[in-house]
């Protein structure tokens, strides 16, 4: 499945990448497809899935860069419970002070309103079944970088960093309709966590680390 070499390299995240990585998040945020048409605020998705990782776990953030610039990322948190606490207690409050409230009528909410509401009442904990897999990750690549082996290389880079921290296992959530990503994670040794996922909206996958 790997395409021809394109000279792209995986390197540690740099603060100058931030805007480009937010853009990657939006360009892949609808079950792996472009979500830009669904959001009024192009930064909102990145505030949830990119910014906190760059600030709270910068050494577990890696950028994929090709001749046109940053085109992908893998982001991780080694201790998800601790990460969520820092996200909720320290990272999120100043952001919420700047963000609008969701619209008054939930029946008329769009994606911005839904995410704004989620950020104002976040339920972020690691499910009990995932206790053996304390780390979690997110990986997204722009279409031009997909299908060339970069995703595999990026996840392997993050897993090596997690092993270096003595991490016992890692989990992630994926939209059940994102068949490509599910096949990708399975090819990298991730399996569905039994028993059945209590959150039907997200498929939880995990793998132990050596
Ligand atoms: C999912 C994603 C990270 C995979 O990265 P990638 O660079 O495209 O995948 P790779 O080329 O490294 O593939 C690695 C392995 O995954 C499997 N795989 C990848 N794409 C696949 C597909 N479309 N169908 C089946 N298997 C697939 C293959 O086994 C492949 O190994 P091979 O190249 O030896 O055949 C990337 O396509 C992406 O960012 N997609 C959009 C955003 C997204 O969906 N992110 C995940 C959100 S949870």
pLDDT given for residue 6 in this prediction = 85
| Helix (H), strand (E) at residue 205 | strand 203-208
pLDDT at 122: 83
Residues contacting ligand 1 via CB (< 6 Å): 1-2, 28, 32, 139-141, 146-152, 174, 178, 180-181, 183-184, 187
Task: Say which CATH topology domain 9-171 has.
Answer: Aminopeptidase (3.40.630)
The secondary structure of 76-120 as a DSSP string is: EESSHHHHHHHIIIIIHHHHHHHSPPPPS-GGG--HHHHHHHHHH
Sign of the dihedral defined by the CA atoms of residues 109, 112, 113, 119, in that order? positive
pLDDT score for 134: 96
* Pairwise CA distance, residues 194 & 129, whole Å: 7
Burial of 31 (0-12, 13-18, 19+ CB in 10 A): middle
Q: What is the pLDDT of residue 126?
A: 85
**Which pLDDT score is estimated for 185?**
98
Quick one: pLDDT at residue 202?
86
Q: 188: CA distance to ligand 1 center in Å?
A: 10
Which atom of ligand 1 has the smallest separation from the CA of 146? Answer: 8
Which of 101, 207, 125, 86 is closest to 158 using CA atoms? 207
Residue nearest (by alpha carbon) to ligand 1 atom 18: 184
Per residue of the chain (210 residues), give pLDDT as tens.
Answer: 455 678 899 999 999 999 999 999 999 999 999 999 999 999 999 999 999 999 999 999 999 999 999 999 999 999 999 999 999 999 999 999 999 999 999 999 999 999 999 999 888 888 888 889 999 999 999 999 999 999 999 999 999 999 999 999 999 999 989 999 999 999 999 999 865 555 567 899 999 999
Instruction: Tell me which residue has its CA closest to atom 4 in ligand 1.
Output: 151
Domain ranges of the chain: 9-171
Nearest to 52 by CA among 1, 3, 5, 18: 18
Return the pLDDT at 201.
Answer: 79
């Amino acid at each position: 499945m790997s395409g021809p070499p394109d000279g792209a390299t995986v390197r540690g995240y740099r603060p100058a990448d931030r805007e480009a990585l937010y853009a990657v998040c939006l360009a892949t945020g609808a079950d792996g497809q472009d979500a830009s048409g669904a959001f009024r605020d192009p930064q909102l998705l990145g505030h949830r899935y990119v910014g906190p990782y760059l600030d709270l776990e910068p050494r577990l953030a890696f950028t994929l860069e090709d001749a046109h610039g940053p085109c992908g990322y893998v982001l991780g948190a080694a201790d998800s419970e601790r990460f969520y606490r820092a996200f909720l207690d320290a990272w999120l409050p100043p952001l919420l002070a700047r963000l609008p409230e969701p619209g008054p009528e939930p029946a008329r909410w769009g994606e911005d309103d839904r995410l704004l509401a989620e950020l104002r009442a976040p339920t972020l904990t690691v499910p009990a079944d995932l206790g053996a897999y304390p780390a979690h990750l997110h990986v997204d690549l722009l279409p031009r970088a997909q299908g060339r082996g970069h995703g595999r290389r990026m996840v392997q880079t993050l897993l090596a960093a997690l092993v270096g921290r003595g991490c016992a296992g890692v989990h992630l959530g994926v939209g059940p309709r994102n068949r490509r990503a599910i096949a990708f994670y399975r090819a990298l040794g991730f399996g569905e966590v039994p028993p059945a996922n209590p959150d039907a909206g997200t498929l939880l996958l995990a793998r132990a680390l050596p």
